[in-house]
């Protein structure tokens, strides 16, 4: 095993990068802009240039680098082929081969960004010490990552862990970003929580501090729930039931040792994990019902940690 490895988390706006030792110590992290022009054709070369510059700055030769791992915002199959990343402009191509060539032949590994973040949390975050982890990311959308025996479960087409698109309501009229209706993401993402709040306030005439909020956000709802606002408390219960139900499905399939809850919504803390766990225990199969819930610890660094862990596993 060589001494160093590089981790990359590719986002639609910025690309997070990290230089690590292969023992898992983060030496330095930085960001570059994601240039999505011309169907994202600049992205990999920009990463390679930035990585090489950082190695040169640190006096590290390419021969001393074990590899470069990448989290990609889209499905990636087991051979490293990206199966379209709409927000990057990418079609179908082998991102690992392309990156390896740009990096002078060092090994490259790629995976879906949510799965990679889950691997990072298993390695050095909220799931540390466990080998069977399900991570749920509650942010702009709802993402998921499934780790079984320390390995990402990517599925045949790289779509494993897309829990945000479980259909939870068949009578939903609004369309999800995926084109379908009634997806978990429409209710449990930051935007979904705010949307459910607006709908509840329209249908329920009770007094609520939420009516005074300049902008109704998920944070405003959790803050109001802590103040014992009845409407906000009911919204939190509805969220917990929705997520607890969805995760009970996963619990019956993968039986993880721990659920790790991350993303911007998780910043609300245990008010989120406690209510999800309550309903999970209510609906889960009895043998899997006592799975603990933990908050993610790595924040925006989970992806670069997980990217490096992929390199170390091969």
Supply the pLDDT for residue 178. 87
- Which pLDDT does position 156 carry in this prediction? 83
Strands 151-152 and 14-21: unpaired
∠ Cα 21 96 62 (to 5°)? 40
Give pLDDT, residue 58.
97
* Interval 52-91: pLDDT, tens: 999 999 999 999 999 999 999 888 888 999 988 888 999 9
CA distance 307 to 67: 10
Backbone angles phi, psi at 85, to 5 degrees: -125, 95
Report the C-alpha gap between 255 and 257 in whole angstroms: 7
pLDDT at residue 114, as a whole number: 87
Length of the chain measured in residues: 314
How do 151-152 and 142-148 pair as beta strands? antiparallel
Please tell me the predicted confidence (pLDDT) of residue 42: 96
Residue ranges of the chain with per-residue pLDDT less than 70: 314
pLDDT at 93: 95
Structure-block tokens of residue 128: 């540390």
Q: Give the SS3 label for residue 68.
A: strand
DSSP secondary structure code for residue 296 in this structure: -
Q: Which domains does the chain have, with CATH numbers?
A: 4-120+305-313 (3.30.420.40), 129-297 (3.30.420.40)
Residue 188 confidence (pLDDT): 96
Contacts of 87 (CB under 8 A, 6+ apart): 12, 36, 73, 74
Sign of CA dihedral 40, 85, 112, 78: negative
Taking the C-alpha atoms of residue 119 and residue 95, their distance in angstroms, rounded to an integer, is 19
pLDDT at position 84, please? 85
């Amino acid at each position: 095993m060589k001494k160093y490895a590089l981790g990359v988390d590719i986002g639609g706006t910025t690309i997070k990068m990290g230089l690590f030792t292969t023992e898992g110590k983060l030496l330095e992290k930085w960001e570059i802009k994601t240039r999505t022009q011309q169907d994202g054709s600049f992205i990999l070369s920009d990463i390679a240039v930035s990585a090489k510059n950082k190695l040169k700055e640190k006096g590290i030769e390419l021969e001393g680098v074990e590899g470069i791992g990448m989290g990609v915002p889209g499905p990636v199959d087991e051979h490293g082929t990206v199966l379209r990343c709409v927000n990057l402009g990418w079609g179908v191509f082998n991102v690992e081969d392309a990156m390896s060539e740009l990096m002078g032949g060092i090994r490259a590994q790629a995976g879906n960004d949510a799965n990679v973040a889950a691997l990072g949390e298993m390695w050095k975050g909220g799931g540390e010490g466990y080998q069977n982890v399900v991570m749920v990311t509650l942010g702009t959308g709802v993402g998921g990552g499934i780790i079984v025996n320390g390995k990402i479960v990517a599925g045949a087409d790289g779509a494993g862990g897309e829990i945000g698109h479980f259909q939870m309501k068949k009578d939903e009229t609004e369309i999800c970003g995926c084109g379908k209706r009634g997806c978990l993401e429409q209710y449990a993402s930051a935007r979904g929580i705010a949307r459910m709040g607006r709908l509840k306030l329209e249908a329920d005439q009770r007094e609520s501090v939420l009516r005074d909020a300049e902008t109704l956000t998920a944070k405003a709802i959790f803050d109001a729930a802590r103040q014992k606002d009845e409407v906000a408390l009911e919204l939190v219960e509805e969220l917990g039931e929705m997520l607890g139900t969805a995760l009970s499905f996963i619990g019956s399939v993968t039986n993880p040792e721990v659920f790790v809850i991350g993303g911007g919504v998780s910043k609300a803390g245990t008010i989120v994990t406690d209510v999800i766990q309550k309903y999970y225990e209510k609906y889960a199969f009895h043998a899997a019902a006592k799975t603990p819930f933990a908050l993610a610890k790595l924040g925006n660094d989970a992806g670069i940690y997980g990217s490096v862990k992929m390199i170390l596993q091969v």
